Amino acid sequence: MELRTERMVLRRLGEAHRADMIAFYGDAEVMAIRKYGARDAAAASLAIDVALEHWQAHGFGLFAAHDGESGEFMGECGLRYVDDGDVVEVSYGLFPRFQGSGLATEGARACLDFGFRTLGLPLIVAYSRADNVASHRVLEKIGMEFMGREDRGTHGVVRYEARREP
């Protein structure tokens, strides 16, 4: 399965993406602004296993983000259940050389649309580090509403929500 945007191809995360994802999750610059921080290869591999299992269990999950022209791996974007609960989160992250050009907004918007139109989800949330202002702007650009601050994980986070329009 894949989603296409003007400049991106989002491909269902699979075993073929493991090496790229391990490099992504281990990149200190990428993970400095994410909720969980950089991971070593073993922890990254475990996170990938969880993401692959999510696809098997739910029929949706994280996508590997690729440049639409070159095919270069850029990062991840997708939907997943939060803490194995009943709330679905939109998640995204790109290598620094792809940040700042609207690609995160483009990918997150495509995933939100997929969640509402294709999956029929009534609500999608997003959690972002409280100090990651760039991510907050992405969430606001795709129409998500700021709901407040929460203490989750090792950093304070903010929660955003979007509801499917009737």
Q: pTM of this prediction?
A: 0.89
Tens digits of residue pLDDT in 42-79: 878 888 899 999 999 999 999 999 999 999 999 999 99
- Return the CATH architecture of domain 2-163: 3-Layer(aba) Sandwich (3.40)
- Residues 93 and 95: their CA atoms lie apart, in Å, by 7
| Residue 40 predicted with pLDDT over 90 | no
Instruction: Sketch the domain layout of the chain as residue ranges.
Output: 2-163
* CA angle (120 as vertex; 111, 12 as ends), nearest 5: 40
| Contacts of 106 by beta carbon, 8 Å cutoff, 6+ apart | 5, 6, 7, 8
Averaged confidence pLDDT in the chain:
90
- Distance, in Å, from the CA atom of 163 to the CA atom of 126, rounded to the nearest integer, reads 12
128, two tokens: 């972002």
